C-alpha cells in the first residue's frame, strides 16, 4: 500500500509522509518553497522516473519540491549549539583543523572545532582570534586532555625516562636518512601545560570545548564554571555511561573505523548502544562518516548529528595552521591528502606506535621500521616524544612516506579535494535527499 501511495498519492500520502518525517525520522527537513506542488521521485528504485504531484504537509512545515534546490537537515543539536546543520568538524590537533577550516565549517552552518592539542597557549589564543575574524558563527576548541603528569620544566625529565635503546633507534633512523639535528615545536604534554591551554579557552570565552581520551575533573569544572558547552568522545558503552555522570552536553560515539585515537567497536554496533545508554544526552556519530549517506545513517541510528575528521582532511582549508606553526610542511600536506584520495578501506591500521595509545594511521615506512625493530611502544607521553622527534625529522628530509599520518577507513570513499563549505553543503543535501526521496519508498 505504501508503495502505491508513493506512485499515486492522495490522502494516504499526506499521512505517511507525516509519519516518515515526524515519527520514524523525527527530524525536520527545512527549506523555503514557492508553491504547493511536491514530488516523490522513484527513479532510483524502479529505473524509471515516476513523478507524482502531492501536497505534503510535514508537521508544521512543508517539504519543498526537488526542483527547488537544496533542503536542509535540522536536529536538536542545531538548537543546542546554535548552528544550522548537524555537522561537526572534529578537532584535529596541532592546527590541522585550524582557523580557516573551522571558520569555513561554521560559515557553512556546521560547527568548526579548532584542533589545539599540542599548541602553546599563545598559539591557541591566536587561532581563536583568527577564527573570530573569519566567522561570527559559533565554533569551539578541541584539546586532548588525558590524565598527565609533570610540568613544562620537566620536559627533559620525561625524555630521560625513555630507555637508551629507543634513542638508539632514533639515532639510527637519523643516520640512515641523513637527518641533521633540528629544533622542533614544544611537545611536552604535561598537566601544567594543559592547565595553561585551558586558561586560554576559558579567558577567550570559546562557546564549545571538546576533548577525547578522558577528561580530568578539574577540566570539566573549569568548563562548567564558565558556561562553555562540553563535548566528549567515547569508544565503549561503559565509558559513555561513566561520562554521562559528568553531565556532558553532547557525547560522541566513535566507531573503530575512525582516524586518530580509536577503540575496537564498530560504529554500527556502538552508536545505537550509546544512544540507548546515555539517553536523553544527545549523541553524535563518528567514524568513517564522509558523505550524506553517513549522516542519514547516523540519524537512523539515533544520533543527532555527525562528527567528521578524515573527510575534512581532504579539503582546501585543512592543515593551514599546522603548516604555519611548523608542525607540517606543504610537501607533507600534499602527500597526506594524496594518500587519502588513493586509500582503500584497509590502508588505515590501528597501532600504538604513533602515540602509545591505539591510533588509526595510514601504513608508512616508519611503521614498518618500528615493527621490524621489535621495540614495544612506550606509554603515551614518552612515545609521543620519540615519534614527534622522528616524524619531524623525516618530514624535513622530505621522507613523507615514512611519517605516520592519522586517518580513517572512510578515506576509501573520498575521491577529490573540495572546499570545506561545499563538503558540508553536499553532505546535508545528500542526506536530505536520502531521507526524503530514497527511503520512503521502502515503507
Ligand X SMILES: Cc1cc2nc3c(=O)[nH]c(=O)nc-3n(C[C@H](O)[C@H](O)[C@H](O)COP(=O)(O)O)c2cc1C
Contacts of 236 (CB under 8 A, 6+ apart): 263, 265, 270
Establish if 98 lies at the interface with ligand X (CB under 6 A). Answer: no
* Piece of the chain touching ligand X by CB under 6 A; list 19-27, 272-280, 308-316, 388-396: 308-316
* Piece of the chain touching ligand X by CB under 6 A; list 5-13, 90-98, 130-138, 176-184: 90-98
Establish if 286 lies at the interface with ligand X (CB under 6 A). Answer: yes
* Integer angstrom CA distances of residue 360 from 116, 122, 145, 252: 19, 29, 18, 17
- Helix, coil or strand: residue 316: coil
Q: Applying CB under 6 A, which of residues 98, 110, 112, 115 lies at the interface with ligand X?
A: 115
Establish if 305 lies at the interface with ligand X (CB under 6 A). Answer: no
Q: Which is nearer to ligand X, 95 or 109 (CB)?
A: 95
Return the H-helix or E-strand segment holding 307. strand 305-308
Q: Applying CB under 6 A, which of residues 86, 110, 212, 421 lies at the interface with ligand X?
A: 212
How far apart (Å, rounded) are the C-alpha atoms in residues 399 and 339? 14
Please report, to the nearest 10 degrees, the dihedral formed by the alpha carbons of residues 336, 338, 339, 343 taken in order: 150
Q: Applying CB under 6 A, which of residues 13, 78, 81, 96 lies at the interface with ligand X?
A: 96
Please state the closest distance from residue 217 (CB atom) to ligand X, in A: 18
Q: Applying CB under 6 A, which of residues 16, 131, 254, 383 lies at the interface with ligand X?
A: 254
Establish if 386 lies at the interface with ligand X (CB under 6 A). Answer: no
Please state the closest distance from residue 360 (CB atom) to ligand X, in A: 8
Contact between 258 and 236 under an 8 Å Cβ cutoff? The reply is: no
How far apart (Å, rounded) are the C-alpha atoms in residues 266 and 415? 23
Q: Applying CB under 6 A, which of residues 282, 309, 393, 421 lies at the interface with ligand X?
A: 309
* Piece of the chain touching ligand X by CB under 6 A; list 19-27, 327-335, 387-395, 405-413: 405-413
User: Which 116-145 residues touch ligand X, going by CB under 6 A?
Assistant: 117, 142, 144
Q: Which is nearer to ligand X, 56 or 223 (CB)?
A: 223
Establish if 258 lies at the interface with ligand X (CB under 6 A). Answer: yes
Ramachandran class of 290: left when φ > 0, alpha when ψ lies in -120 to 50, beta otherwise: alpha
Return the H-helix or E-strand segment holding 17. helix 11-19
What string of H, E and C letters represents the secondary structure of 288-304?
Answer: CCCCHHHHHHHHHCCCC
Q: Which is nearer to ligand X, 124 or 288 (CB)?
A: 288
Please state the closest distance from residue 235 (CB atom) to ligand X, in A: 9
Establish if 304 lies at the interface with ligand X (CB under 6 A). Answer: no
In order, the DSSP letters of 197-257 are HHHHHHHTT-SEEEE-S---HHHHHHHHHTT-EEEEEESSHHHHHHHHTT--SEEEEE-TT
Please state the closest distance from residue 355 (CB atom) to ligand X, in A: 10
Contact between 108 and 120 under an 8 Å Cβ cutoff? The reply is: no
User: Which 41-70 residues touch ligand X, going by CB under 6 A?
Assistant: none
Return the H-helix or E-strand segment holding 74. strand 72-74
Contact between 260 and 358 under an 8 Å Cβ cutoff? The reply is: no
* Piece of the chain touching ligand X by CB under 6 A; list 75-83, 189-197, 257-265, 273-281: 257-265
Please state the closest distance from residue 92 (CB atom) to ligand X, in A: 3
CA 157 to chain centroid, in Å, comes to: 34
User: Which 316-335 residues touch ligand X, going by CB under 6 A?
Assistant: none
Q: Which is nearer to ligand X, 56 or 403 (CB)?
A: 403
Q: Applying CB under 6 A, which of residues 20, 103, 253, 288 lies at the interface with ligand X?
A: 288
Q: Which is nearer to ligand X, 56 or 111 (CB)?
A: 111
How far apart (Å, rounded) are the C-alpha atoms in residues 46 and 16? 20
Tell me the residue length of the chain.
Answer: 443
Q: Applying CB under 6 A, which of residues 29, 73, 88, 90 lies at the interface with ligand X?
A: 90
**175 half-sphere exposure, CB direction, 13 A CA radius:** 6
Establish if 310 lies at the interface with ligand X (CB under 6 A). Answer: yes
# of chain residues touching ligand X (CB under 6 A): 28
User: Which 144-183 residues touch ligand X, going by CB under 6 A?
Assistant: 144
Q: Which is nearer to ligand X, 9 or 309 (CB)?
A: 309
Establish if 93 lies at the interface with ligand X (CB under 6 A). Answer: yes
Establish if 393 lies at the interface with ligand X (CB under 6 A). Answer: no
Establish if 259 lies at the interface with ligand X (CB under 6 A). Answer: yes
Task: Classify each residue of 416-443 as buried b or exposed e, where b means 16 or more C-beta atoms within 10 Å of its C-beta.
Answer: eeeebbebbbebbbbbbbbbbbbebbee
Residues that bind ligand X (CB under 6 A): 90-93, 96, 115, 117, 142, 144, 212, 233, 254, 257-260, 286-289, 308-311, 406-408, 410
Amino acid at each position: 500500500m505504501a508503495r502505491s501511495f508513493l506512485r499515486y498519492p492522495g490522502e494516504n500520502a499526506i499521512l505517511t509522509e507525516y509519519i516518515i518525517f515526524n515519527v520514524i525520522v523525527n527530524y525536520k527537513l527545512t527549506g523555503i518553497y514557492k508553491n504547493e506542488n511536491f514530488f516523490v521521485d522513484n527513479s532510483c528504485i524502479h529505473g524509471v522516473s515516476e513523478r507524482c504531484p502531492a501536497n505534503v504537509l510535514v508537521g508544521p512545515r512543508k517539504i519543498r519540491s526537488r526542483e527547488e534546490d537544496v533542503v536542509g537537515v535540522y536536529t536538536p543539536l542545531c538548537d543546542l549549539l546554535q548552528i544550522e546543520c548537524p555537522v561537526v568538524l572534529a578537532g584535529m590537533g596541532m592546527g590541522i583543523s585550524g582557523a580557516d577550516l573551522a571558520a569555513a565549517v561554521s560559515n557553512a552552518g556546521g560547527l568548526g572545532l579548532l584542533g589545539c592539542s599540542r599548541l602553546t597557549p599563545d598559539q591557541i589564543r591566536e587561532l581563536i582570534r583568527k577564527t573570530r575574524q573569519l566567522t561570527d558563527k559559533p565554533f569551539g576548541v578541541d584539546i586532548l586532555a588525558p590524565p598527565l603528569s609533570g610540568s613544562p620544566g620537566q620536559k627533559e625529565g620525561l625524555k630521560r625516562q625513555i630507555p637508551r635503546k629507543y634513542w638508539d633507534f632514533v639515532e639510527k633512523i637519523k643516520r640512515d636518512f641523513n637527518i641533521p639535528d633540528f629544533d622542533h615545536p614544544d611537545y611536552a604534554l604535561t598537566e601544567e601545560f594543559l592547565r595553561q591551554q585551558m586558561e586560554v579557552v576559558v579567558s577567550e570565552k570559546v562557546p564549545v570545548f571538546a576533548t577525547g581520551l578522558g577528561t580530568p575533573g578539574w577540566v570539566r569544572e573549569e568548563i562548567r564554571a564558565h558556561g562553555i558547552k562540553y563535548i566528549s568522545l567515547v569508544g565503549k558503552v561503559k565509558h559513555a555511561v561513566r561520562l554521562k555522570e559528568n553531565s556532558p552536553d553532547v557525547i560522541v560515539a566513535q566507531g573503530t573505523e575512525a582516524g586518530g585515537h580509536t577503540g575496537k567497536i564498530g560504529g554500527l554496533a556502538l552508536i545505537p548502544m550509546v544512544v540507548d545508554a546515555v539517553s536523553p544526552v544527545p549523541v553524535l556519530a563518528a567514524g568513517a562518516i564522509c558523505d550524506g549517506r553517513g549522516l542519514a545513517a547516523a540519524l537512523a541510528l539515533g544520533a543527532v548529528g555527525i562528527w567528521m575528521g578524515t573527510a575534512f582532511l581532504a579539503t582546501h582549508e585543512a592543515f593551514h595552521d599546522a603548516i604555519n606553526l611548523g608542525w607540517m610542511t606543504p610537501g607533507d600536506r600534499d602527500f597526506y591528502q594524496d594518500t587519502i584520495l588513493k586509500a582503500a578501506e584497509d590502508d588505515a591500521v590501528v597501532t600504538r606506535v604513533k602515540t602509545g595509545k591505539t591510533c588509526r594511521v595510514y601504513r608508512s615506512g616508519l611503521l614498518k621500521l618500528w615493527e621490524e625493530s621489535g621495540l614495544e611502544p612506550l606509554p603515551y607521553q614518552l612515545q609521543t616524544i620519540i615519534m614527534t622527534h622522528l616524524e619531524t625529522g623525516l618530514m624535513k628530509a622530505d621522507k613523507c612516506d615514512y611519517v605516520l599520518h592519522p586517518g580513517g577507513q572512510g578515506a576509501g570513499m573520498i575521491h577529490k579535494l573540495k572546499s570545506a563549505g561545499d563538503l558540508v553543503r553536499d553532505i546535508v543535501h545528500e542526506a536530505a535527499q536520502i531521507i526524503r526521496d530514497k527511503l520512503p519508498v521502502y515503507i
